[in-house]
Structure 1
Amino acid sequence: MPVTLPWDGPTPPESPVEAKHRRPRTYDLLVTGRERKAVNRNYFNSFVWKPALAKAGVIASLKESAAATGARVWELSREHGFHTLRDFFASKN
């Protein structure tokens, strides 16, 4: 799915070279959301990736928070997060 993504910061570029490097770019994404846009990493981490890790026995199952918000509290596992998944995939291509 082709998706156009913004790059760098929101401040205006200070030179033509910087403007060229900051222009939006279109890439083919392997994983997209229902709106056919880039997947929100927080949603993917909490509702897709972490449940899969828990089912595979890599991390502990979901612990429902005692708070009134019912927050989804997963075992802390920085080495198994979405960022690590993304880096692994990028390093293989």
Structure 2
Amino acid sequence: MAAGCGLRQGEVFGLAVEDVDFLGGVVHVVRQVKLLQRHRPVFAPPKGGKERDVPLPESVAFALAGHLKRHPATEVTLPWKTLDGPPVTASLIFTGSMGMALDRNRFNDRVWRPALRAAGVETGRDNGMHALRHFYASVLLDAGESIKALSEYLGHHDPGFKLRTYTHLMPSSETRTRAAVDRVFQGDDPADDGPETAQEGF
């Protein structure tokens, strides 16, 4: 969900079955699991208080459905925003072994970093789970998605921030030009099949 939909770690932990529209191909990002003092979890709005809808790719939907088949969603009740806030219940897709909301510190120590080490990847700050959002951004930009759309999917208010952060990942003008011409000359455009064009070699 982080690499395929660009969700933040807390948003992944707060994702519920009722937030996923499998038929419509949309994920509604409406909450996160947030730790307050003494590492006590609460449900809270996404960062910046802005809910958003994110496209759900088919490959991610199948992976998510497979996970739910193996690990059915668990109803979890947490206070909303503050430790004494009103209780809110959600059928969380990802929970700990005891059916509780995931704690980011325990998850990072016991799951994420061991997975990095097993894969031969350094466990420094640059390779935190947030790196999966950077991967998501790079994939979309490489495919030609706009900075404005990417900012909306990532839940950022300022497209300019995204532009400054990810501009180095955007295909260059020269790359786009080569790709556009190659698409035509490699037979993707039926207009290039005429005998006159073939004879003249244009």
Q: Which TM-score applies when normalising by structure 2?
A: 0.26
Q: Radius of gyration: which is bigger?
A: 2
Q: Which TM-score applies when normalising by structure 1?
A: 0.50
More helix by share: 2
